[in-house]
Structure 1
Amino acid sequence: MGIEEYWIVDYAALGGKKFIGNPKQPTFFVCILEEGEYQMNRFTENTPIISPTFPQFNLSPQQIFAIAL
């Protein structure tokens, strides 16, 4: 479909260890279309989320999950 970027938010850490790591933890994925394939960039805890579509975005998963509670 040519969607340049999409996000996956696994706030309950339900994804497989292959994707969200071990031990499992709440995770954000920013998936970017590069040469016809999506590259999944994983962000957890205090790591700032990097998005080409939103370059001024300056929050970490931990900050976002804290706001949601």
Structure 2
Amino acid sequence: EEIVQVANFALVKNYGKGKEYTNCSVYGEKVEIVKEFEKGDLIHVFGYFKENKKGDKVYKNFIVKSLNKIENKKENEEE
């Protein structure tokens, strides 16, 4: 039986007064990359959406194939 590491995190997209949350899952060695992330980091992700239906609800999860942190040139406004 193979054990595969998984990390789940949420991306937040800010626009106007609204926020859009996307739940993401990353597997394997890429889990180590996610451990370095902090709240407010700019992240670039590549992958695909997977939908799960439970009753009358549809849950979308983004399966991450590759990801990296974007180094922010200016200071983060939140800090």
TM-score by length of 2: 0.28
TM-score by length of 1: 0.30
Larger helix share, 1 or 2? 1
Q: Max radius of gyration: which structure? A: 2
Name which structure has the greater RCO, CA cutoff 8 Å, separation 6+: 2
